[in-house]
Structures are given as structure tokens and as C-alpha cells.
Amino acid sequence: MVLISSTSALGNRGQANYSAAKAGIQGLTKTLAIELGRFGVRVNCVAPGFIQTAMTQQTADRLGVSFEDFEAAVAAQVPLQRIGQPDDVAGVIAFLCSDDAAYVSGQVVYVRGGP
């Protein structure tokens, strides 16, 4: 199983409800890994940061800034100096579902271009 959370689980101004829900998914991941491991079920979580999607486009629209300016401002704060793409998240999920991750369970992997 691969559950999807968000870096918002670490805290996000103005989104206490969203942050709490995403943190809950991370706790659920760890608990399910403990409970289901004896049945051979691996449970992990992927927590994306800023990923270029329709949702992030809507955020820029809501803030009244161009998406390009919004992306540039975010990218400047990311150690890899770029915005995440959906394929960045998909690659991590594919790894966690593969035999290469056969001994990985109960982990939260942040896909955010840096620590």
C-alpha cells in the first residue's frame, strides 16, 4: 500500500485542518505497517511538496499572481531550484510498489526537492 500525504503534515499556515489530516495519514501508515507486516503487506507513504498541478495553478489564481511568478518564487526556496512534476511523485510510488522496495515498510518519503 502507498498512501499519499503532503509536506503540509509538517505544518502549513492557515490550514490546521489540512495539516492534521495529512499528519494523520502518516500515523496511519506507520500503524498499518506494524499491524499488516506479519501478513506480508508493506505500507508506505509519499508526501509531496509543491508539485506542478491544477491545484497549484488554482492557488496562484486565488493569490492573484501569474502561475509562472508563483512557480519561480517557490522554486527559489527549493534546494534543487525547480518545481516538482507529477512524474517525480510517480517514480517514488513506482519504486515503493516494486520488488526493489521489498524490505521497506512504514516509511514516509518526502518528495520536495530537498530536506
Task: With 0.85 as the threshold, say if the pTM is over it.
Answer: yes
What single letter denotes the amino acid at residue 58? Answer: Q
- Fold type of domain 1-49+89-115: Rossmann fold (3.40.50)
Q: Which of 4, 18, 37, 91 is catalytic?
A: 18
Helix/strand/coil for 47: strand
Domain boundaries, the chain: 1-49+89-115, 50-83
The DSSP call for residue 7 is G
pLDDT given for residue 103 in this prediction: 98
Alpha-carbon gap, residue 115 to 113, rounded angstroms: 7
Annotation marks residue 110 as catalytic: no
Q: What is the pLDDT of residue 12?
A: 86
Taking only the tens place, the pLDDT of each residue in 21-78 is 999 999 999 999 999 999 999 999 999 999 999 999 999 999 999 999 999 999 999 9
Say which residues have a Cβ less than 8 Å from residue 72's Cβ, sequence separation at least 6. Answer: none
Q: Phi first, then psi: what are they for 84, rounded to 5°?
A: -70, 150
